[in-house]
């Protein structure tokens, strides 16, 4: 269920039809309105007017929310692609500014919805997309903003989606939404530098974890990595933690993770 998402989360949500896209965004927006979050929707495959109509038809008080400054529906050319190309390096900064503005206006959170259909048409810079999705986790993990990234399965192949999914801490694939919960939550505090991981780590999110570890290692000499609520089903993540042992101080890891660290470290050369 999309309603299980909370500030700090960043999901790759695949859809198969326009109706499915409008259904999930309507529920995501309704949930956000009730929680006093600001919501910014970057649409691409649908015109803003069509989105407004579709959401209104699904019971979302679009007109009132827009008038209150709580909801903004804008074409992706006004957001991701403001410079005419997708500039991955500028995006985290843009998100941080959006976040500051929402805070200053008194909203208790910021929800972003991104219709990523533009990436399928191979715009300049789109090849940086997975790397961008991985890096931007740093912004969301502070726990104020959250993002629903919409990927249309009619536009992207499974092989194209796998690395993009893995750049997000959680993803929803073709399977039914019932019972869906975010697979992994990443939360960051700056002082002391700490990454808290809750959920399961596997190939569906390891690139997100890897990028987060890399970013945090660049920010601080030592980073506490709290694994108390995490199960690790991915050898490459364990390898990364072993190689970064000088930087990453693990706490709360299960005996299974300790044994894996022994196995990975024991044969290192």
Partner 1 sequence: MTVSAPGLCHEALFYDSDDAYRDALLPFLRDGLAAGDALVAAVRRENIALLRDALGPDAPHVTFIDRDEWYRRPAVTIAGWWTLLARARAAGHTGARIVGEVAFGGLERHRTWTRYESAVNAVFADAPAWIVCPYDTRALPGRVLADAHRTHPVIRDPGRRDSAGYRAPGSLLRELPEELPPVSGPPLADRPLHDVTDLAAVRETVRAIAAGWPAEALEDLLLVTTEIAVNGLRHGRGERRLRVWRSGDTVVCEAADDGPGPADPLVGYGAPAEGSQGGRGLWIVRQLCDEVAIAAEPARTRVRVAMTAAPGVTTG
CA distance 85 to 77: 9
Which CB, 126 or 184, lies closer to partner 1?
184
Q: Is 236 in the site for partner 1 (CB under 8 A)?
A: yes
Residues 52 and 62: beta-carbon distance below 8 Å: yes
- Can you tell me which of 21, 137, 204, 215 binds partner 1, judged by CB under 8 A? 204
Contact segment (CB under 8 A) with partner 1 among 66-74, 101-109, 127-135, 253-261 equals: 253-261
CA distance 138 to 142: 7
CB of 195 to partner 1, least distance (A): 21
Q: Is 1 in the site for partner 1 (CB under 8 A)?
A: no
CA distance 171 to 218: 26
Residues 184 and 169: beta-carbon distance below 8 Å: yes
Tokens found for residue 40: 């910014």
CB of 263 to partner 1, least distance (A): 6
Binding to partner 1 in span 123-182, by CB under 8 A: 158, 161-162, 165-166, 171-175
Q: Is 218 in the site for partner 1 (CB under 8 A)?
A: no
Residues 136 and 95: beta-carbon distance below 8 Å: yes
Tokens found for residue 185: 């939550």
CA distance 87 to 77: 12
Which CB, 123 or 231, lies closer to partner 1?
231
Q: Is 202 in the site for partner 1 (CB under 8 A)?
A: yes
Interacting residue ranges for partner 1, rule: CB under 8 A: 158, 161-162, 165-166, 171-175, 183, 200, 202-204, 231-236, 239, 254-256, 259-260, 263-264, 266-269
């Amino acid at each position: 269920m999309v309603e299980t998402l909370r500030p700090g989360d960043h999901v790759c949500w695949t859809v198969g039809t326009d109706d499915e896209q409008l259904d999930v965004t309507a529920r995501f927006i309704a949930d956000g309105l009730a929680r006093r979050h600001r919501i910014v929707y970057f649409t691409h495959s649908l015109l803003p007017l069509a989105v407004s109509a579709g959401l209104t038809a699904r019971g979302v008080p679009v007109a009132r929310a827009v008038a209150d400054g709580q909801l903004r529906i804008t074409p992706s050319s006004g957001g991701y692609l403001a410079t005419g190309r997708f500039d991955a390096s500028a995006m985290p900064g843009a998100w941080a500014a959006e976040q500051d503005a929402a805070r200053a206006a008194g909203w208790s959170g910021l929800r972003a919805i991104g219709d990523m259909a533009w990436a399928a048409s191979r715009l300049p810079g789109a090849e940086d997309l997975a790397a961008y999705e991985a890096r931007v986790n740093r912004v969301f993990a502070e726990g104020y903003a959250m993002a629903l990234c919409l990927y249309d399965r009619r536009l992207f192949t499974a092989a194209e989606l796998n690395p993009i999914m893995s750049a997000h801490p959680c993803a929803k694939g073709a399977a039914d939404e019932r019972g869906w919960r975010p697979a992994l939550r990443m939360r960051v505090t700056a002082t002391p530098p700490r990454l808290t991981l809750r959920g399961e780590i596997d190939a569906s999110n390891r690139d997100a974890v890897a990028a987060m570890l890399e970013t945090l290692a660049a920010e601080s000499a030592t980073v506490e990595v709290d694994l108390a609520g995490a199960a690790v089903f991915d050898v490459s993540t364990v390898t990364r933690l072993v190689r970064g042992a000088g930087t990453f101080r693990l706490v709360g890891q299960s005996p299974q993770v300790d044994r894996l660290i022994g196995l990975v470290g024991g044969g290192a050369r």
